[in-house]
Structures are given as structure tokens and as C-alpha cells.
A and B are shown apart, each in its own frame.
Chain A
């Protein structure tokens, strides 16, 4: 079975802190994605990557950056966390078509 793991289920950070959300997949997938999910707004794509050291902006990249140094790991970085980044963050990976999602990290910024 494909497994996508995220470093934390719940995280509480203060405004202005640098935040790292880690995602690891074990199926040698080329593609990895970061989404955020908010009530009434659904899932929105932040960044994605088609290969190591490669990244592309999604629909809402402002305030975020990403890093993909190894194929299995895709990190989402909040350089200076703000309260409007309080959300559920979901990572996914895919080979072709079907995406496999992690369990999500619920981030609260106070």
C-alpha cells in the first residue's frame, strides 16, 4: 500500500515563527503536492513538484515556499507564520493520475 506520512497531526505556532511541514512518501512517486483545506473554500493547491529540486506554484503560493531535495520528501515552509495561515494542510503524491493523500496537519497560528 502507498503510504504518505506527514510529520505532525496537530501543530500550534506563534505569529512570525518559521514553520516546516514535512511530507514523506514511500512509493517512488515523481509528483508531490501541498494543499490547504478551509471550511467553505475546499482544497486549494499551494505548490507542487514534478521532480527533485523542481517546484511549481499552485493557486495560492503567497506566504509559502517549498523544498524537494530528495524524491521521497516534500517540505512546505511558512517563512513567517500569520494567523490567516491557520488551516488543515494536506500533502499528496502521485505517479500518473491517482493522488494519494496523507492524513493532514492541522496548523494553528496564534
Chain B
């Protein structure tokens, strides 16, 4: 399985942009890049996903490198409610809907 590498933790100031990096150098052509986050005492929630092109939605933006070996989740203005563990996950489109979660990045937001 293609694996992802993320920093264990990051800090941000409230109302500033946050860039959460993810390396996936062994990504294959059929792997989608998914991001989930897990708020304290809750189950994970879907944030965004993409294949090759950059993606935007109401929660975040996903920037994918041209060679697809890395990606960055962008929170445009961090709030205290964005403090969570963020998971970058590769999902093989040929292998059904299974997700393999790694360690994720714990984002701390300072007021």
C-alpha cells in the first residue's frame, strides 16, 4: 500500500492560514488523495479529496504537486474549532472504499 508521511504536530495562530503538508512519494496512478480530520472526542470527518487537480470546497483547499508525490491541505483562516488531528490518506480506486489511516498531524490553534 502506498504510504503517507505527515508531521506529528503543527501550531497556528487563529485567523491565519495553515498549510498542512503530506508526502506520498510511492503514490500510484489510481490513488486518490483524501483528507479527514478528527476533532476531540468525535469520529473522523471527511474534509476534501482529489486526484490530480487542485480542489476547493467550503472547508479547505487541496493543492496537489504536479508529480503527485506530495500535497498540501490549506485552511484559509484557522479558527479554534479547527484544532484537530488531520489525516492524509491514499485510496486506491481499484481497491474499493477502504481507507488506511496513518498517524496524522495534530494541529493546535492559538488564540
Contacts and interface: CB of A to CB of B under 8 A. Distances in A.
A97 B91 contact: yes
A43 B97 contact: no
Nearest to A31: B97
B103 to A, nearest CB: 6
A35 B98 CA distance: 11
Interface of A: 4, 31, 33, 35, 42-45, 48, 50, 58, 90, 92, 94, 96-104
B46 A99 contact: yes
Interface of chain B, helix or strand or loop or mixed? Answer: loop
B102 interface: yes
Residue from A58, A98, A103 whose CB has the most chain B CB atoms within 10 Å = A98
Interface of B: 32, 34, 36, 41-46, 49, 91, 96-104
14 contacts: A31-B96, A31-B97, A42-B101, A43-B44, A45-B100, A50-B96, A90-B43, A94-B97, A96-B97, A97-B49, A99-B36, A100-B45, A101-B44, A103-B43
B61 to A, nearest CB: 17
Residue from B41, B43, B96, B100 whose CB has the most chain A CB atoms within 10 Å = B43
A36 B101 CA distance: 11
A6 to B, nearest CB: 9
B36 to A, nearest CB: 8
Closest A-B pairs by Cβ, 3 of them: A101-B43, A43-B101, A98-B46
A97 B32 contact: yes
Nearest to A99: B99
A45 B1 CA distance: 14
A43 B46 CA distance: 15
Contacts of A101: 43-45
Contacts of B45: 100-101
Given A42-B101, A43-B101, A99-B46, 14 more contacts: A31-B97, A42-B102, A42-B103, A45-B98, A45-B99, A48-B98, A90-B43, A97-B49, A98-B34, A98-B46, A99-B36, A99-B44, A99-B99, A104-B41
